[in-house]
Structure 1
Amino acid sequence: MTKPILLSFDIEEFDIPEEYGEKVDEKKQFDVSLQGLKAVLSLIDALEIKATFFVTANFAIHHEAIIREISQKHEIASHGFYHSSFSLEDLEKSRRTLEQITNSRVTGFRMPRLMEIDEQALHTAGYQYNSSMNPTYIPGRYNNFFKQRTAYYSHEIWNIPVSVTPKIRFPLFWLSFKNFPLLWMQIATQRTLQHDSYLCIYFHPWEFTDIQDFHLPNFIKRRSGQGMIDRLRKYLSWLQKQGKFMTFSDFIHSRNYR
């Protein structure tokens, strides 16, 4: 059976410099993300790859046209209303906002910064799946080493964690992709695909904009802009030989999840 590959991008305000003490005005936050988003769309369209875009409603309101354009080829899911603040009311509010903009149903959610979110609240807000967990241990960020690492059903919600390797749970997320050799990422990816029979990976569009001038740690700024685009092109071209790209919703439906 062809192995599903779930590629996703978190479209959000570029607010990560504020975690390190640098204030960035909102227009600049949007501009940085928008520039990288256009580069990402050009790449995956050229490769004829389908993806899921988790979008903050705040970004979508400011850039409705490009979000509607994305929804014609890819899946739009919610990334909350704002990236730097959250309330339970944002769950339904962000979903409805995205549905109004795209004129399509929104069934998926990912919590900003992959923080914990109540599954029952997601179900009540009208979602079918959640991809808000990185099942690994990273000091100061994630403490999920002993949580289930593959897709599971709970509280009427399908949970699709970000992929990590079996046993040692090496995370296959954007920071690993930036900081480890591409060959290592390919080996780790292939091992995970063979073990789990699917893959779930994610990036941020702002990674594909040159962010070298911001006051960020080198492990975040590394390989930004064109260098990151070139690296992603090589990785995705290789991944096309390993399985089939599909949206999160298609993945659930193909497995008869529900």
Structure 2
Amino acid sequence: MAACAMTVDLEDYFQVSAFSQHSPLSQWDEFDCRVEKNTHTLLDLFARYDVKATFFILGWIAERYPDLIRTIALQGHEIASHGYHHQRVTSLSQEAFLEDISRSKALLENITGSRVIGYRAPSFSFNNETPWVYDCLVAAGYQYSSSVYPVQHDHYGSPLLPRFAFHSHSQCLEIPISTLKMQWGSVFNKNVPIGGGGYFRFYPQWLSLWFLKQFHRQEQQPYIFYIHPWELDPHQPRLFDVGIKTRFRHYVNLDKTYQRLERLLQLYQWQRMDQLFTTSISAAIEVSGEQALA
């Protein structure tokens, strides 16, 4: 059976980067927070198919819903960090980034009593211009990141970075979101985004499944998928006066996400990131230990 990792970016609908102009951090407490209900819907679905996932959790959410975070951990899912304030890394200084990831890690560990080793940057905002991020992750005690999406996109993406897991730092593994390499002569040669999120809602289900089948035929690599709890909530408030493109990206096919996700859970076996990449993460830990003894 092909190896697949199920990951969840635990944030609410008003916290997505595309809405940042309309929902500043100072106003977050004023919104109708629906993350608890939507996450329980997701947890129930995972339990039905005995799926264990990695939850990249926003610190702001964890601080307000600690019982939810404990429930996720008690059900056997991996607890990982999505930062505290959902700020793009490219908007932060090195010092501010280190403070953010350290704060969120400490908070999650205090809530669950377990060590947090994984991190995912908001909006996959690691790129060639932020090489210092891995020094910060290692300094804060992280062992892997899943913050790169090697595609071309107007809000994120680093198409020139590797498509598969690589040691971005001798002590930190980077695990990119999955893409499919599509080549048609000299006219088209691109990484097609197939790892979930808005694309999973936009593509017809038959096409998403075809992409996944092609990926496993072409590559001897694990498939990395991600989803947000708000994507299972077609009745979420629509409060923002945003452009047509943003509105389409956020709301398209929300009423179909649950059924599509359930089909994926039925067809494939899913694992946590830390378990799927145990060997590669352990290699980084061994390097860290050797350097400490040197």
- Report the equivalent of 1:250: 275
Aligned residues with identical type, % of pairs:
25
Q: 1:94 aligns with which of 88, 95, 104?
A: 104
Gap regions ≥5 residues in structure 2: 183-189, 241-245, 284-294
For the Cα contact (< 8 Å) 1:13–1:26, is it kept in 2? no
Number of residue equivalences: 251
Q: Identify which of 132, 141, 147 aligns with 1:132.
A: 147
CA contact (8 A) 1:37 1:205 kept: yes
Which residue does 2:120 correspond to in 1?
110
Counterparts of 2:17 and 2:141, CA distance in 1: 32
Tell me if the contact between 2:54 and 2:79 (Cα under 8 Å) persists in the aligned partners: yes
Q: Provide the rounded CA distance (Å) in 2 between the counterparts of 1:123 and 1:34.
A: 31
Alignment CA distance shift 1:20-1:104 (3 Å): closer
Are the aligned partners of 2:59 and 2:85 in contact in 1 as well (CA < 8 Å)? yes
Alignment of 1:1-258 (within 5 A): 2-14=1-13, 15-16=15-16, 19=19, 21-23=21-23, 25-27=27-29, 29=31, 31-72=33-74, 73-84=76-87, 87=96, 88-116=98-126, 118-138=133-153, 140-155=154-169, 156-167=171-182, 168-172=190-194, 173-194=196-217, 195-210=219-234, 211=236, 213-215=238-240, 217-224=247-254, 226-238=255-267, 240=268, 244-254=269-279, 257-258=282-283
Structure 1 contact 77–107 (Cα < 8 Å) conserved = yes
**Structure 1 17/60 Cα, relative in aligned 2: closer, same or farther at 3 Å?**
same
Q: Secondary structure at the match of 1:113?
A: helix
Aligned equivalents of 2:173, 2:216: Cα separation in 1? 20
Question: What displacement does 1:218 show?
Answer: 1.8
8 Å CA contact retained: 1:135, 1:162: yes
Task: Return the offset for 1:124.
Answer: 0.8
Structure 1 runs, 4 residues or longer, greater than 3 Å off: 20-25, 27-30, 254-257
- Give the 3 Å change call, closer, same or farther, for CA 112–253 of structure 1 in structure 2: same
CA deviations over 1:212-234 (Å, ceiling 9, x no partner): 6343512310122x532122112
Paired residue secondary structure (1:122): helix
Shift of 1:134: 0.3
**Alpha-carbon distance between aligned partners in 2 of 1:63 and 1:171, rounded to the nearest angstrom:** 32
Measure the CA separation in 1 of the matches of 2:49 and 2:116.
25
Partner SS for 1:218: helix
Report the Cα offset of residue 254 of structure 1: 4.7
Deviations 1:195-251 (A, max 9, x none): 143100101111111236343512310122x5321221122212x2xxx31111111
Structure 1 alignment gaps of length 5 or more = none
Structure 2: distance between partners of 1:115 and 1:235:
27
Query: Are 1:34 and 1:206, in contact at CA under 8 Å, matched by a contact in 2?
Result: no
RMSD over aligned CA atoms reads 2.2
TM-score, normalised on structure 2? 0.79
Superposition deviation, residue 186 in structure 1: 0.5
User: Once the 2 structures are TM-superposed, how far is the Cα of residue 19 of structure 1 from its aligned partner?
Assistant: 2.4
CA shift for structure 1 position 84: 3.7
Question: Contact 1:130–1:157 at 8 Å: present in 2 too?
Answer: yes
Provide the C-alpha distance between the structure 2 equivalents of 1:91 and 1:154, rounded to a whole number of angstroms: 17
Shift of 1:34: 2.1
Q: 1:27 to 1:229 in 2, by over 3 A?
A: farther
**Taking structure 1 as the reference length, what is the TM-score of the superposition?**
0.89
CA contact (8 A) 2:119 2:145 kept: yes
Contact 1:178 1:222 (8 Å CA) reproduced: yes
